Chain A
Amino acid sequence: MVEPILSVEKLDVSFSTFEGLAHVLSKVTFKINHKEVFALVGETGCGKTVTALSIIKLLPRNSYVQGRIIFNGRNILELKESDMVEVRGKSMAMILQDPSSSLNPMFKVGEQLCDAITSNDPNIKEPKRYALELLSKVGFKDTERVFNSYPNELSGGMQQRVAISISLTGKPTLLIADEPTTALDVLTQAQIIQLLKQVRDTYSTSVLLITHNLGLVATLCDRVGIMYFGQVVEIGPTYDLFYNTKHPYTKGLLQSLPYNKLKNQTLPTIPGDLPSPLSPPSGCRFYPRCPRSNESCSKDVPEILPITDKHYVACFNPLSGDE
């Protein structure tokens, strides 16, 4: 089997706060293969962005990280900051949630793009030509005009495409997209998804897509990891995850999608709230809200184990296929 591009192994992240130690990630484990789009899905506050930031090693100072993040054969967590600057942008890049604030308002798009190009490779003679080429690759027709625009003169979708073009300057092998479509309307979302697909094909980049939009996952992703409260509870190929759901939380998520419900039916939800990361429940972190929990759930933490060769689940009482 081919080595995965990124392999996160038993990643624990906690933050020291005034109220105590907050355990945000607990034994997060997943892999991303070459040219694969992998999605991390979960509700707000479950640790998706923290996972992304620990992969690119930009967590805030008050964080404690344990585990291993192997990227291109090297453990990211052991790299020095000076080496990490070389990794960022060149072999790993990130797209942020809100395109309107991820571009510096003081500079023209072109300047920022050229800055990114020369900071990745100071030897490039004509950064502008490369910049225009990148802009046309992300779907701009009048590249010269975009090049000379300030970020506030572009629409949200255009800004996000510019942000994607900036992240592509170093031809990264891994692109982390942190909710790239959350701030955009539905039509623009579709365009950005198309663009990400295209990027994956032309640059043979692997993509780590962080989202809570299951529709997006279904159209774009090869494999999906479902996160709940700092743990990956289920990993599997997209189709299996949607149609052969194993974890009760995944099922709850899928049921609460509003698409196939009749008008007068109440939308099912998952009862209860996220517990506090300051005092996580013992045992399985989902058991207080889980319809299938029994005694053992409150005592032991379920390991994430394979059910088939590609489908992994962390549950003592997984659903069987026909439920």
Chain B
Amino acid sequence: MNKLTLSKETKITLKLIKRDKLAMLSLLIITFFIIVSIFAPFIVPYPSQGEGLPVPEKRFLPPSFENPFGTDYLGRDVLSRVIFGARISLFVGIFVVCVAIIIGVPLGLIAGYFGGKVDDVLMRITDVFLSFPSLLFAIALVATLGPGLFNAMISLSITWWPWYARLARAQAVTIKEQPYILASQVIGVKGLTIVFRHLLPNALTPIIVQGTMDMSSAILAEAGLSFIGLGAQAPSPEWGLMVSTGRIYLLNYWWFPVFPGLAIFLVALAFNLFGDSLRDVLDPKSRKAGGQM
């Protein structure tokens, strides 16, 4: 539908991303992890071990041709488990960020556009959430809901939407001063229609950037919750959980905790870097300067 211009826009965006080597590298890592996690059951050497089947006779084998990342304390192939873990981590990251955006952005836009009492009420509610350190708040929530992966995701979303509400409100406050908003008011467009039809698309860029960067924090936070035993439960191949159970073996059998830890590090880094360059690329000022980055 938007063939002509949108493709032009996309072309510029792609060109700018291509120029940025770090962005390309991080995009490559992200795509790699996404593909790997989609096809996990078909590409891992030992699918059943990836899901948690113990093989007692193969405990603590060092990395070899058969087990490239070695095996863990139950004899399971670490490579298979790390790849299965990618599914969980990516899903968690996407879920948490999406829920936070879906709750936070509309509230923030409404608060920013309507102002006055609506703004006061909505923003004081978000302030209540923001007044707790988010990870601590998430820990308290999971402890109440009961440990588990799903509960961990829910509580992370609950602690994160206020940041998006704040961001969206700031956007709405600036954008509502634009003449095209007045122009739609004078032809009698109703308030909520203006918010979702006119404010939302124009406010989206920083939200996308923030979302990409938060993806890494969400994965880290969830791994953290799993590490302290509040997130995913054994035998789930969650990375944080694997690091947590493997940490006592670090000196003797380093491959068991190190490879899942490396995976966390790589994914978090990739999302962070990508978000960073996305911010540069989507900023119209960097375009006017011919995209010199």
Which chain A residues have a beta carbon within 8 Å of chain B's beta carbons?
56, 58, 61, 85-90, 93-94, 96-98, 101-108, 115-116, 119-120, 148, 150, 153, 163, 166-167, 169-170, 176
Contact = CB atoms under 8 A, between A and B. Distances in A.
Given A85-B190, A150-B5, A153-B5, A102 B180 contact: yes
A163 B183 CA distance: 8
B188 A102 contact: no
A166 B186 CA distance: 10
Interface stretch (B63-71, B130-138, B194-202): B194-202
Contacts of B201: 104, 106-107
Contacts of B5: 150, 153
B179 A94 contact: no
Contacts of B115: 61
Interface in B183-233: 183-190, 193, 197-198, 201-202
A103 B2 CA distance: 17
Contact of A94 (B4, B186, B189): B186
Given A101-B178, A101-B180, A103-B183, A88 B202 contact: no
Given A96-B179, A115-B197, A150-B5, A104 B187 contact: no
A152 B241 CA distance: 52
Nearest to A148: B4
B193 A119 contact: yes
B186 A56 contact: yes
B182 interface: yes
Nearest to A119: B189
A153 B116 CA distance: 37
Given A61-B116, A96-B182, A104 B202 contact: yes
A53 B185 CA distance: 11
Per CB-CB distance, the 8 closest pairs between chain A and chain B, nearest first, are A89-B188, A88-B188, A89-B187, A94-B186, A102-B183, A101-B179, A106-B201, A102-B179
Contacts of A176: 186
Interface of B: 2, 4-5, 115-116, 178-180, 182-190, 193, 197-198, 201-202
Contact of B179 (A86, A93, A98, A108): A98
Nearest to B9: A150
26 contacts: A58-B185, A58-B186, A61-B115, A85-B188, A85-B190, A88-B185, A88-B186, A89-B186, A89-B188, A93-B187, A94-B187, A96-B179, A98-B179, A102-B179, A102-B182, A103-B183, A104-B180, A104-B202, A115-B189, A119-B190, A119-B193, A120-B188, A163-B183, A166-B183, A167-B187, A169-B187
Contacts of A102: 179-180, 182-183
Contact of B187 (A98, A101, A150, A170): A170
Nearest to B115: A61
Contacts of A105: 180, 202
Contacts of A96: 179, 182-183, 186
Nearest to B3: A148
Contacts of A89: 186-189
Contacts of A103: 180, 183
Given A61-B115, A106-B201, A88 B183 contact: no
Interface centre among B184, B185, B186, B201 (most CB of A within 10 A): B186
Given A61-B115, A61-B116, A101-B178, A106 B186 contact: no
A103 B182 CA distance: 10
A107 B116 CA distance: 29
A150 B7 CA distance: 13
Contacts of B116: 61
A120 B179 CA distance: 20
A170 B184 CA distance: 13
B283 to A, nearest CB: 15
Contacts of A116: 184, 187, 189
B161 to A, nearest CB: 24
B185 A106 contact: no
Given A85-B188, A89-B188, A148-B4, 11 more contacts: A89-B187, A89-B189, A96-B182, A96-B183, A101-B180, A102-B179, A102-B180, A105-B202, A106-B198, A150-B5, A167-B187
Given A106-B202, A115-B197, A120 B183 contact: no
Contacts of A90: 188
Nearest to B193: A119
A106 B189 CA distance: 17
A58 B198 contact: no
A85 B190 CA distance: 7
Contacts of B178: 101
